[in-house]
Amino acid sequence: RPGWPGIIEAYRDRVPVPEGAKVVSLGEGNTPLLPAPHLSELTGATVYLKVEGANPTGSFKDRGMTVAVTHALAGGLEAVICASTGNTSASASAYAARAGLTSAVLIPRGKIAQGKLAQAVAYGARVLQIDGNFDDCLELVRKTAAEYPIGLVNSVNPVRLIGQKTAAWEICDVLGRAPDVHCLPVGNAGNITAYWRGYSEYVADGLVEAAPRMFGFQASGAAPLVLGEPVANPETIATAIRVGSPASWAGAVTARDESGGLFDKLTDEQILAAYRLLAHREGVFVEPSSATSVAGLLLTAADGRLPEGSVVVCTVTGHGLKDPDTALLGLSEVEPVPVDATAVASALELR
């Protein structure tokens, strides 16, 4: 078989699918675990980035979606539905298209990044927007899927999280150990839950000695897990994690408590600073939500909560091209120059 087969085939023994199921894959997984020299220097840790923007639709959601859509197809469903801040909808529509299923996505009006909307449209999804937030969208799709013949592919569908465990296994397989600390952005809290289950499984099976401490980071305006109570009107520039009432709340708390980890929150300014630093200094362009893990790394390194010399993995969850508007914030016009090499040289202050 040519190349990487996708996460279901790669982890056949750990990611069960129904007997005889046709696997729906776009070649997800096997993403780079990239050393981050600048962040390592800043923090005194050995930092790696798990670059999930390298997945087929540009986010980690593809790991769970290959499993969810494989199950939906095997179960004879003809349509799938999800609520999304953008990435789940992009992924669901792609895998549904691949499987020949219809997809429907429910999004909060005006609150998803343009690239993600473009993806859902391009893959041929039925896109519906509501005047509400992600939490409202999720409640609506749960009710719809309970009453009508359409499969729910949000992470409340447990097979999604089984697929997402594969990121933790890839990290261990590449490093030959688990990191000391794993930093993640947290929105609906499925991913931190899945990573913790993945690491715990490898420890239980004797494949690694110890699991990492799980550090989960939220945006200040959407930090229910940090505050310990749901947020009615979540707000942040990191729209992917603009979630007030995470579905996997209990899983995230288990991850933190069993691992000796922590939750904390970052302001939009701190998130954007990390976003720019990642692109400017590491050459890694991610979406704002993804930079939350790195903003949290910098915060905990600065205040001493991150032990010096730790091996740290920060998952950067989605590609920067998802959200071109944030990248172009503050840019009114690209600098014009005449069609003339001297003018180019002078604009660049070359001598």
Which positions make up the binding site for pyridoxal 5'-phosphate?
87, 187-191, 317
Q: What share of the chain is helix, strand, coil (3-state, %, to 5)?
A: 45, 15, 40
Alpha carbons 280 and 77: distance in angstroms, whole number: 45
Contact mark string toward ligand F0G, 203..242, x via CB under 6 A: -------------------------------------xx-
DSSP assignment of 54-99, as one string? GSTTSBTHHHHHHHHHHHHHHTT--EEEEE-SSHHHHHHHHHHHHH
> Smallest distance from the beta carbon of 284 to ligand F0G, in angstroms?
14
Please identify, among the stretches 65-73, 79-87, 95-103, 196-204, the one whose residues bind ligand F0G according to the rule CB under 6 A: 79-87
- Contact call for residue 97 and ligand F0G (CB under 6 A): no
- Contact call for residue 287 and ligand F0G (CB under 6 A): yes
Token pair for 182? 């794993």
Residue from 6, 179, 185, 234 in contact with ligand F0G (CB under 6 A): 185
DSSP conformational letter for 49: E
Residue from 43, 70, 84, 300 in contact with ligand F0G (CB under 6 A): 84
Token pair for 16? 């069960």
- Contact call for residue 189 and ligand F0G (CB under 6 A): yes
Q: Residue 66 or 188: which CB sits closer to ligand F0G?
A: 188
User: Token pair 């704002």 is at which residue?
Assistant: 288
Residue from 290, 300, 310, 326 in contact with ligand F0G (CB under 6 A): 290
DSSP conformational letter for 267: -
Judge whether 199 and 172 are in contact, CB under 8 Å: yes
Q: List phi, psi (to 5°) of 217.
A: -120, 135
Alpha carbons 227 and 230: distance in angstroms, whole number: 8
Longest Cα separation, the chain: 70
Residue from 94, 167, 186, 255 in contact with ligand F0G (CB under 6 A): 186
> Smallest distance from the beta carbon of 287 to ligand F0G, in angstroms?
5
Please identify, among the stretches 43-51, 186-194, 294-302, 303-311, the one whose residues bind ligand F0G according to the rule CB under 6 A: 186-194
- Contact call for residue 157 and ligand F0G (CB under 6 A): no
Alpha carbons 297 and 313: distance in angstroms, whole number: 9
Total residues contacting ligand F0G by CB under 6 A comes to 22
How many Cβ atoms sit within 10 Å of the Cβ of residue 335?
6
Annotated binding site: 87, 187-191, 317
Residues 292 to 351 in contact with ligand F0G, rule: CB under 6 A: 317-318
Residue from 59, 93, 133, 166 in contact with ligand F0G (CB under 6 A): 59
Q: Which residues bind ligand F0G (CB under 6 A)?
A: 59, 61, 84-88, 185-191, 240-241, 243, 287, 289-290, 317-318
